[in-house]
Structure 1
Amino acid sequence: MSQSFPPPQQPQQQGPFDQGQPPQGGFGYPAAPPAAPVRNNFALGLIAAVVAAVVTAGVYGAIIGATKHEIGYAAVGVGFLVGFAAGKVGGRNPALPVLGAVLSLVAVYFGQLLGEAIIASKALPVTVSELFFDHFSLLNEGWKADADPLTFLFFAVAAVAAFSGAKKAAA
């Protein structure tokens, strides 16, 4: 005689510790999740740092041009964002914090030059791009004349912020 449904299965015997719960680590605690893969991509970190440096230099220059003053917190922000982008995208490569610090110095410098160009273009009958590309040496001389110890302190703080930002982002 044929049956229209399979015969009932006997329940399997379970051990005293096997009650359908997730696997346990030591002392009854759940097992640790698997470790996340380590990111270590120098090329992507470099690209992210360069993009962040270009964008933040432009923003920093616009802030200086609008306020006609160097703002220390903005320089710190430039450094931190450049370093953070390098560390977040590139991972724990030991060269990325140093690279982020160097690129933040470049970004702060060009941001200050852009700010000087914006300020000068308001007073002179030339455009910002003309000052920046055609009269760069004059712009650089003007920056040197305006530079004071506080300017270089902003550079140092930006580099430190970039280094620590890259380290924190990669952790």
Structure 2
Amino acid sequence: MSQPYQQQPGPGAPGQQPYSAPPPYAQQPAGSGNTGLAVGVGIVAMIVGAVIYGAIMRASGGDAGEYTLYAYPAAAAGILVGLAFGKLGGRNPALPFVAIVLGILGAIMGQFLGYALLINHWTDGQIGIATAFTDEFDLLKEAFKEDFDALVAAMYAVGGAAGFALTKRLGSS
């Protein structure tokens, strides 16, 4: 007697699928930096740069009411901010532009601090530094307006550009 149906193949591995299994997921890249920490350290670096600029401005002042503005301390404020942002901030695309602002702001703050230190020196301590910033701020603004020219604007631009360039260079490495 013959069977109407032929024997089916036994259990075993099914046939192959047309494609192989997908590759495993790649590991997430490590974080590229801590933006909050970079901004905090950048603000501290801006203040340090401003204090250095003010101290250099005070050191250049004489007893007769004259003083000299230097461009290098303005660039130093931007360099300090750029170093902090570049080393700690990683590749955040906003940090170079924040470095421009903080570099320029550090140079302006340093110049105002220098004026306050000079006023304190010229009045033999009669007007303190804090008093110069609070009660005599009009004197600081007038001195700032008198000294502001193309060279001072270029000083600020160099400070901002230094902050931008260092942040970009160190952040991408």
CA–CA distance in 2 between the matches of 1:45 and 1:101?
Answer: 14
Of residues 47, 52, 66, the one that matches 2:40 is 47
- Identical counterparts, % of pairs: 37
Cα deviations across residues 88-144 of structure 1 (Å, max 9, x unaligned)?
A: 111110111110110111100010011111112222231122102222233112211
Amino acid at match of 1:111: G
Question: Which residue does 1:77 correspond to in 2?
Answer: 76
Counterpart code for 1:74: P
- Equivalents in 2 of 1:128, 1:52: separation in Å? 21
The alignment yields a C-alpha RMSD, in angstroms, of 1.9
Verify the 8 A CA contact 1:81 1:165 in the aligned structure 2.
no
Post-superposition offset of 1:38: 4.4
Separation in structure 2 between the aligned mates of residue 135 and residue 129 of structure 1, nearest angstrom: 9
Deviations 1:51-73 (A, max 9, x none): 10011111111111111322112
Q: If you compute each CA radius of gyration, which structure gives the higher value, 1 or 2?
A: 2
TM-score (norm: length of structure 2): 0.74
Which 4+ runs in 1 deviate beyond 6 A?
none
1:133 and 1:54 mapped to 2: Cα distance?
18
Q: Tell me which protein shows more helix as a share of its residues.
A: 1
Amino acid at match of 1:99: V
1:128 aligns with 2:129: yes
Task: Kindly tell me the number of residue pairs found equivalent between the two proteins.
Answer: 138
Matches within 5 A, 1:8-157: 37-67=30-60, 68-124=67-123, 125-157=126-158
Distance 1:99 1:108 in 2: 14
Structure 1 residues without counterparts, runs of 5 or longer: 1-35
Tell me the secondary structure at the aligned position of residue 115 of structure 2. helix
The yes-or-no answer on 1:167 pairing with 2:160 is: no
Q: Which residue of 1 aligns with 2:17?
A: none
What is the match of residue 29 of structure 1?
none
What CA distance in whole angstroms lies between the structure 2 residues aligned with 1:89 and 1:98? 15
Q: Structure 1 CA distance, aligned partners of 2:135 and 2:55?
A: 20
CA distance in 1, matches of 2:54, 2:43: 16
Output the amino acid matched with 2:108.
Y
Checking the alignment, whether the CA contact within 8 Å between 2:74 and 2:155 is kept in structure 1 is: yes
CA contact (8 A) 2:83 2:167 kept: yes
Deviation of 1:148 (Å)? 2.0
The 2-side partners of 1:142 and 1:80 are apart by 26
SS of the residue aligned with 2:161?
Answer: helix
Q: Name whichever of 139-148 and 48-57 sits farther off.
A: 139-148
Contact 1:41 1:93 in 2 (8 A): no
